[in-house]
């Protein structure tokens, strides 16, 4: 029987852990794969087989229906943008809301965006090429504009308003960090209120002058039949799509390019064989995923791995630890652009599996393929890149390169 607490194996406030969490994950997987961590009042789950099984288990959900996640009344604007968001609801509401939007994100619909994404990436590469100094921060100058533009186009956010999306999203994701401060909460709540106000105004504009975009479509559905989609659900999901639609893609480009540039043999392999682009992108998501874990709540009493979990038990499912599990991935700490098979969990699994996965894969292929083709001399410069010290979201402060 494994030790059922994390003991001295896990300290999510330790800068060394936040810098490189993988040795800690390895130890937990080996010694305490299901481990109680009292400060978060949650079980930490790190093995691939367990995370996989729990994500498929319908006795778990994102949130207890009768107990809103944020009971603090000052958090009401944040709670409002979560209530009704696909990520925070369970069937039958999840089924109904997903049906309303899912065809926009199908591989077939997404493929139609390829030409526009290619043109966008080519324009950004032209901009980089035109610089006399031939140096850039790839996060700001390349990675960020791609998914922000694509998702804003899809939702119908006017060009002039797009600048606010990144700061709102960065503020809001602070609320998902278990080690957040009161100041981070206040910033997240204020951003949620502003973002929701903005989306409501945009919905009014779409009512007057509808377009082909997803917000116009959700507004039309809501106005035709409020039982199909409510006003609050339109706001919550517009915000979810705008945030989820760019944040992780930006950081797969950043984290993935860092891995590639730190492994010149793998970079050379990829440059020599364009057929490796797809597996390379999957490996980037496995090796240095931008989302380390997601939480689940036990909705019905259950026993798992010999441990009784009553209704209401909180679980922290470490997708990033599962993605380095040697029981599933041979030599898991090796970055291998040809890795096959690669059943990583970076997009989750089961009911809440990422609806944007086909879009993300398309954007990543066009962006990374285009960048490598355009700049054969691409290399890291400046100080060693550092990760922002956060627990859920893993991303770089900057990615300075010369080309």
Residues that bind ligand HEM (CB under 6 A): 86-87, 98, 240-241, 244-245, 248-249, 252, 285, 290-291, 294, 346-348, 352, 354-356, 359-360
Nearer to ligand HEM among residue 80 and residue 291 (C-beta): 291
Q: Min. distance of Cβ 204 from ligand HEM in angstroms?
A: 23
CA nearest neighbour of 403 among 55, 221, 77, 134: 134
Nearer to ligand HEM among residue 166 and residue 402 (C-beta): 166
69-82: b (≥16 Cβ within 10 Å) or e: bbeeeebebbbbbb
Nearer to ligand HEM among residue 351 and residue 403 (C-beta): 351
Nearer to ligand HEM among residue 353 and residue 381 (C-beta): 353
Nearer to ligand HEM among residue 355 and residue 372 (C-beta): 355
Angle between helices 231-262 and 357-374 (to 10 degrees): 30
Nearer to ligand HEM among residue 9 and residue 98 (C-beta): 98
Q: Min. distance of Cβ 289 from ligand HEM in angstroms?
A: 6
Rg (CA), the chain: 21
Nearer to ligand HEM among residue 171 and residue 359 (C-beta): 359
User: Judging by DSSP bridges, how do beta strands 42-45 and 314-318 pair with one another?
Assistant: parallel
Nearer to ligand HEM among residue 125 and residue 150 (C-beta): 150
Q: HSE, CB side, 13 Å, CA atoms: give it for residue 127.
A: 13
């Amino acid at each position: 029987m494994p030790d059922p607490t994390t003991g001295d194996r896990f300290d999510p406030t330790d800068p060394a852990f936040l810098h490189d969490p993988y040795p800690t994950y390895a130890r937990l997987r080996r010694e305490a794969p299901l481990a109680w961590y009292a400060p978060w009042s949650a079980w930490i789950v790190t093995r691939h087989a367990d995370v996989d099984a729990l994500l498929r288990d319908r006795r778990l959900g994102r949130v207890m229906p009768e107990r809103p996640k944020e009971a603090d009344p000052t958090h009401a604007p944040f709670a409002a943008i979560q209530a009704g968001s696909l990520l925070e609801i369970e069937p039958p509401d999840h089924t109904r809301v997903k049906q309303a939007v899912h065809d926009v994100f199908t591989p077939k619909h997404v493929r139609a965006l390829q030409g526009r994404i290619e043109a966008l990436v080519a324009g950004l590469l032209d901009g980089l090429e035109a610089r006399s100094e031939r140096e850039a921060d790839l996060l700001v100058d390349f990675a960020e504009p791609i998914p922000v533009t694509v998702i804003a186009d899809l939702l119908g956010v006017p060009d002039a308003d797009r600048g606010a999306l990144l700061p709102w999203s960065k503020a809001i994701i602070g609320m998902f960090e278990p080690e957040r401060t009161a100041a981070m909460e206040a910033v997240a709540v204020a951003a949620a209120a502003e973002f929701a106000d903005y989306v409501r105004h945009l919905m009014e504009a779409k009512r007057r002058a509808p377009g082909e975009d997803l917000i116009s479509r959700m507004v039309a559905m809501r106005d035709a039949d409020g039982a199909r989609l409510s006003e609050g659900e339109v706001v919550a999901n517009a915000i979810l799509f705008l945030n989820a639609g760019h944040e992780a893609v930006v950081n797969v480009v950043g984290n993935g390019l860092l891995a590639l540039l730190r492994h010149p043999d793998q970079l050379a392999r990829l440059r020599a064989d364009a057929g490796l682009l797809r597996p390379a992108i999957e490996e980037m998501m496995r090796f240095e995923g931008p989302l380390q874990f997601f939480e689940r709540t036990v909705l019905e009493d259950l026993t798992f791995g010999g441990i009784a979990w009553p209704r209401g038990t909180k679980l922290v499912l470490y997708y990033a630890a599962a993605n380095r599990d040697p029981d599933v991935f041979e030599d898991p700490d090796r970055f291998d652009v040809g890795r096959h098979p690669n059943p990583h969990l970076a997009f989750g699994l089961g009911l809440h599996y990422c609806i944007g996965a086909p879009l993300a894969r398309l954007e990543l292929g066009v962006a990374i393929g285009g960048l490598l083709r355009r700049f054969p001399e691409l290399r890291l410069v400046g100080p060693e890149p550092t990760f922002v010290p956060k627990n859920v979201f893993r991303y770089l402060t900057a990615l300075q390169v010369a080309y």
